[in-house]
Amino acid sequence: MGCPGTFRFPNAHLLMKISVITPSFQSAPFLERCVDSVLAQRHDGVDLEYLFIDGGSTDGTLEKVRAYGDQVDQVISEPDQGPADAINKGFQRATGDVLAWLNADDEYLPGALARVVETFQRHPEAAFCFGHCPIIDASGTEIRRGVTRVKRFFYPLSSRFTHQSINYISQPASFYRREAAEAAGPLRLDFKAAWDYEFLLRLWRQGPGIAIGDPPLAQFRWHSASISGQHFRLQFDEELQIARDDAGKWSPQSALHLGVKWGILGIYSLMNAPSRKGRA
């Protein structure tokens, strides 16, 4: 999929600072695409703080990110307990009015952060905002368009109830007001694949989430080594547990989420079948 044309706010006075954290471990294959997409946001006048929090990579990741010099504001490499732990460290060090994280295999699209700033300025009540996020493969080609269409269907229906029933918000295209994130608390380390979903449900308690229309804000890369690629069954198990904890085990939302879980698992299993047989 080619990137949409750059979206600019030539007259916008971008007063808000955005802090973006990239958690990383052995992230060399897609790293430069990710970092370039973040740094390019400064071309729109965005006040960007970029933090790179690495878990002790040995595959050339650190050499690649350090080649960007002071364009990356902080580079930290030390052992951690996984990406959620790395993001928590980044949030503690960040100084922005808006917080976000972008995994080292995902990408922002042109003009994304300027549009996020404009959205928060227009909606001071918002705890977070989110936008469209196509799924791409290792080569950057858009895939799983049906999944993306299903998620987009729920944007006009956005609410905590809706999100308890189905996880339709894509993390790479999600951005959090600092005060709301601090009130919600840190990411939980006991979940292995759905800690971002649990965090968003806590954010809903701090204020509404605002959906941003087209063009998309980010691209999520699905590949065999990604968390979603490796652990999608565990992810949906955890999401159901989280929905039940948040809405109540016998709530309508939990019943809907259970149905959604089995439906999506069936679809994903069918989509993954060719790759397992070596025909992808």
Q: Provide the residue ranges of all domains of the chain, joining segments of one domain with +.
A: 17-274
Please say if the pLDDT value at position 10 is more than 80: no
Task: For the chain, give the percent of residues with pLDDT over 70.
Answer: 86
Q: Read off the pLDDT of each residue in 163-178 and give the average, rounded to a whole number.
A: 96
What the block records as the tokens of 275 is: 């790759």
Residue with tokens 């009540």: 125
Give the pLDDT mean for 58-84: 96
Three-state DSSP state, 82: coil
32 within 8 A of 79, measured Cβ to Cβ:
no
Per residue in 246-276, pLDDT (tens digit) is: 999 999 999 999 988 777 766 666 666 554 4
- High-pLDDT (> 90) share of the chain, %: 80
DSSP, collapsed to helix, strand or coil, labels residue 136 as strand
- Is a pLDDT exceeding 90 seen at residue 48? yes
Say how far apart CA 99 and CA 90 lie, in whole Å: 9
pLDDT tier for residue 121 given thresholds of 50, 70 and 90 = very high
Q: For residue 45, is it left (φ>0), alpha (ψ between -120 and 50) or beta?
A: left
Residue 1 confidence (pLDDT): 37
Q: What is d(CA 189, CA 168) in angstroms, rounded to the nearest whole number?
A: 22
Task: Please state, in angstroms and rounded to a whole number, the distance separating the CA atoms of residues 104 and 1.
Answer: 19
- Give the global pTM: 0.88
- Please tell me the predicted confidence (pLDDT) of residue 261: 79
Report pLDDT for 15. 81
Average pLDDT, stretch 195-210?
A: 96
Phi/psi for 271 (5° steps) reads: -65, -30
Residue 201 pLDDT more than 90?
yes
Looking at the predicted structure, is the pLDDT value of residue 235 above 70?
A: yes
Confidence band of 224 (pLDDT split at 50, 70, 90): low
CATH of 17-274, one of 3.40.50.150, 3.40.120.10, 3.40.1190.20, 3.90.550.10: 3.90.550.10
Report the 10 Å Cβ neighbour count for 67.
Answer: 11
